[in-house]
């Protein structure tokens, strides 16, 4: 057993594992793509990659694929890894599939339809419909017409009856469909030559990837991240793990990574997007131990970005457009040195360049 681990050591371990301390890496070596980089908001997965040293000017969009996976959210992966990813993100069991589908599982149960059978049925219908690029609305309309009542619900917003949202999203990759980049509403298209791998490789195993990138963790942390039952996660708990104590709590990390927990504290400054993997850990008090600050970082709607300074969340940021120029309001939670303020300004200018708009400066509070 490794000696007790401190909170700063945990955060530095995660920042280093996720390569937030790197200034240059090849796309194929981006660790976040093993578990998927969530592609939500204007500063989504590509900004997450840029924050980890991937040169976006040299990156070919053909090397990446965008699909609905974990928590039915859009994520980016290496295209060549998609067969293994598809196997890795499959529900662990019928109960797991039901949990991930939320309220869609209830009418299926009443009709005597298993959750996995339902996903297969929706996937088969989607595969038959999507033979060319189609908007989500087009796909939903045509697939809904093929499905029986237990698969459908009346949507007040659309004033129409269509598929439940979660099975629709969760079945898309099972049907071999990807999402076009930067499309709203989403455009779905068949993945050329897609075939799901028969087994999950260790690199893309979601439990192992969580422990490697967001550890040390508990089975409940992993289950919450996946929307899966804890029982199913425990059944797939790796054997090559090390137990550690963090803030008096027992947690686990891959044995090969245990020695990395005591490495030097990371020194880096980054502006993280609201859905960056670093912020997706399911032990939020470990990331932000002040309840008021946590509430500001993770509101129900309209999440801000986070300022990362030396492994710690040091404050919040929001964009501010003035005409065609982009600035940022930065709210720091403590006084920082002039060098840190300069580093934040440099990162803000990088983000403006990423968005391809002139930079108007930062409004720094704190």
Q: Classify residue 321: in a domain, yes or no.
A: yes
Task: Give the pLDDT band (50/70/90) at residue 366.
Answer: low
In a domain, 234, yes or no: no
| Per-residue confidence (pLDDT) for residue 322, from 0 to 100 | 86
Structural domains counted in the chain: 2
Q: In what order do the strands lie in the sheet with 37-38?
A: 37-38, 74-78, 64-68, 177-179, 187-190, 134-135
Contacts of residue 83, Cβ cutoff 8 Å, sequence gap at least 6:
194, 195, 196, 197
Whether residue 157 lies inside any domain: the answer is yes
Which of 121, 146, 176 is at the close of a domain?
176
284 located within any domain: yes
Give me the pLDDT at residue 154, please. 87
Predicted confidence band of residue 32 (pLDDT cuts 50, 70, 90): very high
The answer as to whether 114 is a domain residue is yes
Whole-number Å distance between alpha carbons of 208 and 253: 9
For residue 332, give its domain range. 269-365
Q: Which two tokens stand for residue 77?
A: 């992966």
Q: Looking at the domain assignment, is residue 192 inside a domain?
A: no
Q: Which residues are registered as beta bridge partners of 75? A: 38, 67
What pLDDT does residue 51 have?
97
Boundary of a domain, candidates 176, 192, 226: 176
Domain-terminating residue out of 126, 144, 176: 176
Beta carbons of 141 and 130 less than 8 angstroms apart: no
Mean pLDDT value across the chain: 95
| Domain contains 147 | yes
Distances in Å between the Cα of 275 and the Cα atoms of 44, 47, 98 are: 7, 11, 25
Cα 356 to the center of its chain, rounded Å:
24
pLDDT in tens, 182-206: 888 999 999 999 999 998 899 999 9
Band of pLDDT at residue 364, cut at 50, 70 and 90: confident
72-81, 207-216, 315-324: range with lowest mean pLDDT: 315-324
In a domain, 58, yes or no: no
At residue 257 the predicted structure's pLDDT band, cuts being 50, 70 and 90, is: very high
pLDDT of residue 312: 95
């Amino acid at each position: 057993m490794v000696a007790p681990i401190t909170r700063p050591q945990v955060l530095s371990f995660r920042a280093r594992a996720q390569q937030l301390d790197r200034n240059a890496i090849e796309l194929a070596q981006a660790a976040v793509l093993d578990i998927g980089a969530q592609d939500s908001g204007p500063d989504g997965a590509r900004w997450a990659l840029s924050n980890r040293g991937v040169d976006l000017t040299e990156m070919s969009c053909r090397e990446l694929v965008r699909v609905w996976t974990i928590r039915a959210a859009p994520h980016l992966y290496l295209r060549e890894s998609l067969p293994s990813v598809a196997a890795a993100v499959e529900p662990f069991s019928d109960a797991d599939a039901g949990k991930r589908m939320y309220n869609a599982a209830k009418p299926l149960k009443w009709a005597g339809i298993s959750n996995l059978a339902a996903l297969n049925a929706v996937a088969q219908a989607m595969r038959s419909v999507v033979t060319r690029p189609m908007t989500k609305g087009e796909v939903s309309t045509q697939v809904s017409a093929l499905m029986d009542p237990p698969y459908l619900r009346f949507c007040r917003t659309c004033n129409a009856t269509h598929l439940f949202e979660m099975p629709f999203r969760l079945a898309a990759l099972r049907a071999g469909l990807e999402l076009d980049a930067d499309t709203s509403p989403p455009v779905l298209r068949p993945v050329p030559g897609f075939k799901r791998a028969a087994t999950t490789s260790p690199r893309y195993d979601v439990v192992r990837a969580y422990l490697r990138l967001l550890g040390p963790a508990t089975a409940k942390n992993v289950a919450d991240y996946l929307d899966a039952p804890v029982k199913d996660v425990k059944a797939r708990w790796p054997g090559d793990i090390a137990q550690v104590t963090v803030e008096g709590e027992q947690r686990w990390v891959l044995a090969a990574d245990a020695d990395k927990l005591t490495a030097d504290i990371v020194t880096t400054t980054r502006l993280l997007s609201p859905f960056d993997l670093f912020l997706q850990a399911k032990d939020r008090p470990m990331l932000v131990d002040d309840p008021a600050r946590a509430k500001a970082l993770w509101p129900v709607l309209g999440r801000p970005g986070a300022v990362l300074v030396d492994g710690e969340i040091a404050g919040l940021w929001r964009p501010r457009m003035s005409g065609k120029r982009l600035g940022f309001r930065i709210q720091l939670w403590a006084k920082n040195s002039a060098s840190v303020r300069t580093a934040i300004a440099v990162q803000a200018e990088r983000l403006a360049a990423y968005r391809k708009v002139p930079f108007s400066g930062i409004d720094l509070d704190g």
